[in-house]
Chain A
Amino acid sequence: DTEVTQTPKHLVMGMTNKKSLKCEQHMGHRAMYWYKQKAKKPPELMFVYSYEKLSINESVPSRFSPECPNSSLLNLHLHALQPEDSALYLCASSHGRTGLTYEQYFGPGTRLTVT
């Protein structure tokens, strides 16, 4: 199974809402990533978890809160977002050995619209 799944596929939320994005993989990967992709732009790294510990936080605003409950799951909790946060949010996973970073497997993304 080389699939990364993400739910929901689409999400519309108001600026005062709290919602969560979910990501799951069963490839035994120990590194998981959140990216943000705006239209016609490349993915921008937000967070990386390695062995369930937060390894990279690219100075993301605190209204985005990641969580890695176990080695297969990755969540992104959203609260008090702004309209400019509307984007495609991608989850990815890879082998987790630092120094031998392997290719990433991407999920289909969650299309988020903040109204």
Chain B
Amino acid sequence: AQSVSQHNHHVILSEAASLELGCNYSYGGTVNLFWYVQYPGQHLQLLLKYFSGDPLVKGIKGFEAEFIKSKFSFNLRKPSVQWSDTAEYFCAVNSRTGGFKTIFGAGTRLFVKA
């Protein structure tokens, strides 16, 4: 069955610490990969996406993610987090040939201490 697994459900960091959130997927065929973020009181918004090409993709606010096909992974990174990065982060996958069905991971709640 298709699934998306996020390893960390809750992460607490101090400002300036480095961040890595894990995401693994189980999905047949060619995939599109996304990280969405939901800041407190705000709606879900796209952080970054991978469709093809360079497996290292850069998104907004200094975030980046690396697609490792052999590991079925799409981990999110940021070298130095800020208090304003406190949010919930969702990894999401859909199939290039599967149409519009997007599967979301369970989410990771990040809290950054000032």
Which A residues are closer than 8 A to B by beta carbons? 31, 33, 40-45, 48, 50, 55-56, 58, 90, 92, 94, 98-101, 103-109
Interface residues of B (CB under 8 A from A): 32, 34, 36, 42-46, 49, 90, 94, 96-97, 99-107
Residue of A nearest to B96 (CB): A99
Instruction: Report the number of A-B residue pairs with Cβ-Cβ less than 8 Å.
Output: 59
Q: How far is the CA of A61 from the CA of B69 in the complex (A)?
A: 37
Is there an interface contact between B44 and A101, defined as CB atoms closer than 8 Å? no
Measured in the bound complex, the distance between the Cα atoms of B107 and A65 in whole Å is: 28
A residues in contact with B42, CB < 8 Å:
108
A88 CB to closest chain B CB (Å) equals: 10
Closest A residue to B98 using CB positions: A101
Nearest A residue (CB) for B6: A42
| Nearest 7 Cβ contacts at the A-B interface | A42-B104, A106-B44, A108-B43, A48-B100, A103-B46, A106-B43, A103-B49
Cβ contacts under 8 Å, B106 to chain A: 41-42
Q: In the complex, what residues of B have CB within 8 A of residue A106's CB?
A: 36, 43-45
- What are 25 of the A-B contact pairs (CB < 8 Å)? A40-B107, A41-B106, A41-B107, A42-B90, A42-B104, A42-B106, A44-B104, A45-B103, A48-B99, A50-B100, A55-B100, A56-B101, A58-B101, A90-B43, A94-B100, A98-B99, A99-B99, A101-B94, A101-B96, A101-B99, A101-B100, A104-B46, A106-B36, A108-B42, A108-B43
